[in-house]
Amino acid sequence: MTRTVIRGGLVVTAAEELNADVLIEDERIVALAAAGSSAAEWTADRVIDATGMYVIPGGVDAHTHMELPFGGTSASDTFETGTRAAAWGGTTTIVDFAVQSVGASLREGLDAWHAKAEGNCAIDYGFHMILADVNDASLKEMDLLVGEGVTSFKLFMAYPGVFYSDDGKILRAMQRGADNGGLIMMHAENGIAIDVLVEQALAAGKTDPRYHGEVRRELLEAEATHRAIKLAQVAGSPLYVVHVSAASAVAEIAGARDAGLPVFGETCPQYLFLSTDNLAEPGFEGAKYVCSTPLRPKEHQAELWKGLRTNDLQVVSTDHCPFCFVGQKELGRGDFSKIPNGLPGVENRMDLLHQAVVDGHLTRRRWIEIACATPARMFGLYPKKGTIAPGADADVVVYDPNAEQTISAETHHMNVDYSAYEGRRITGKVRTVLSRGTVVIDGDNYLGRAGHGRYQPRATCQYLDR
Ligand SMILES: NC(=O)NCCC(=O)O
Ligand SMILES: [Zn+2]
Ligand SMILES: [Zn+2]
């Protein structure tokens, strides 16, 4: 047995902050003790000095797309490169999306994603399932998947002809989820209307990346969010709205929550830190910022921060879906609708949110709540993941709150040739990362290995009585 003690840090969880030492035996946390108490007598094989540091749970990023085939190409991070980059950024668990292809079963999709991930991940991982073909067989399969730990299902009101489901299919999947405990995750944009606007924009010669943001109108995110909420209400199903970017969509979620409905909302760093100004950067630079839902005008950011503070939004995930500028984003030169949708960010989330603490948008505990504890609870991983407590997996980050860094593609570890946050100064930096008790990051050294990360079957959403 290996005993590790993390000494002298400020332990920050969603619930409390205390100066405490943390004792780890092999893969688990076994004790916390106030500094200077019985902890002084703990013997250990390895002592990590955390004086002046925060000791926080490893981040849980509940929305990533490693190796996703999309827009005629594939996301540029594999499970190996993407999970390694996540570790560098203090994230120790991801929940990625396995994809059902139209005409195929959920099982085929899930098996394919297991094959991509198994033996390759640096950190632990789980899967949601994208339902691209709702029919009698796939509805039945949902029950089986819930039973084996794939307890959440993403549906799309966007991308007709690719992942899109109509309202009838959505309602049927929601009814099934209400029954089997699967949480429905919704990409809420009116894709049918958006496709009309795309066609009209292109016909008018509006081909630059900034038109991606213009046609994917805020109203069409709000409308779809409203419709998804009503459909969930009819089905008696909870609802988790992914990558919320529009202030009016936040208002829809807030209204539903005020009415007592089990509706949850996720936003992403790109919507909190970037805007349509980035999409409008000169030449073809805006392509770097093409994602859906799209970046919004800056004014929306204040509403997203407010939503996070008031718990109208509960989770910040990255929607990490990187495409290189050269050779991938470039597929859409002359036609913005052909730019593969998605941004890199799995490495940057914990730091950007710490910057939000420094800037006064969030408290330290709320940082940990939205980035670690709530995503773990939402997706059935708590308290194994998302907290520092006896019995939890020893997924622990020693975080230096005073270190200064500059985000750059020159220094990041994601397999993508640009950074959406190039040149941004951040106060705070990961110093040491443990994944199930193994040190995977130590200062500027990566000590992990592909295959250390283990598949995590998940319980159902822990915010709902079942
Ligand atoms: N978000 C995005 O632009 N790409 C990834 C796929 C999705 O989440 O809709
Ligand atoms: Zn989506
Ligand atoms: Zn996504």
Q: Is-contact 435 58, C-beta < 8 A?
A: yes
Confidence of residue 36 (pLDDT cuts 50, 70, 90): confident
Question: Which residues lie with the beta carbon below 6 Å from any ligand 1 atom?
Answer: 65, 187, 243, 291-292, 319, 321, 341-342
- Enclosing H/E stretch for 285: none
Kindly tell me the burial class for residue 11, based on how many C-beta atoms sit within 10 Å of its own C-beta (0-12, 13-18, 19 or more). Answer: buried
Q: Which ligand minimizes its atom distance to the CA of 68?
A: 1
Q: pLDDT tens, 51-97?
A: 999 999 999 999 999 999 999 999 999 999 999 999 999 999 999 99
Q: Which residues pair with 125 in a beta bridge?
A: 94, 455
Question: What mean pLDDT is reported for the chain?
Answer: 98
According to DSSP, the residues that pair with 61 across neighbouring strands are 94
pTM across the whole model: 0.98
Percent of the chain, pLDDT > 90? 98
Residue 434 — pLDDT band, cuts 50, 70, 90?
Answer: very high
Written as six digits, the tokens of 199 are 């066609």
pLDDT of residue 465: 73
**Nearest atom, ligand 1, residue 342 CA:** 3
- Distance between CA 77 and CA 321 in Å, rounded? 8
d(C-alpha 98, C-alpha 428), whole Å: 33
Ligand nearest to the CA of 224: 2
Q: If residue 356 lies in a helix (H) or strand (E), which one and from where to where?
A: helix 349-358
- Is the pLDDT assigned to residue 193 strictly greater than 80? yes
User: Which pLDDT does position 466 carry in this prediction?
Assistant: 67
Alpha-carbon torsion 244, 272, 378, 130, what sign? positive
- Inform me whether the pLDDT recorded for 37 exceeds 90: no
Ligand 1 pocket test, candidate residues 243, 270, 271, 295, most atoms within 8 A of CB:
243
Does the structure show a pLDDT above 80 at 40? Answer: no
Exposure class string for 433-451: b at 16+ Cβ within 10 A, else e: bbbbbbbbbeeeeeebeee
Q: Whose CA is nearest to atom 5 of ligand 1?
A: 342
293 CA distance to ligand 3 centroid (A)? 9
Question: Residue whose CA is closest, atom 8 of ligand 1?
Answer: 319
The residue that leads in pLDDT, 466 or 396, is 396
Nearest Cα residue to atom 7 of ligand 1: 292
Q: How much is the ipTM here?
A: 0.99
The 10s digit of each residue's pLDDT in 196-241 is: 999 999 999 999 999 999 999 999 999 999 999 999 999 999 999 9
Binning the chain into helix, strand and coil, the percentages to the nearest 5 are: 35, 25, 40
Q: How much is the average pLDDT of 277-297?
A: 98
Place of tokens 């709205």: 241
Q: How confident is the model over 359-387, as pLDDT tens digits?
A: 999 999 999 999 999 999 999 999 999 99
Rounded distance from Cα 292 to ligand 2 centre (Å): 6
- Give Dmax over CA atoms of the chain in angstroms: 74
Mean pLDDT of 406-433: 98
Residues 152 and 130: their CA atoms lie apart, in Å, by 9
Partners of 29 in beta bridges: 24
Q: 345 CA to middle of ligand 1, Å?
A: 12
How confident is the model over 257-279, as a mean pLDDT?
Answer: 98
pLDDT of 38 over the 80 cut: no
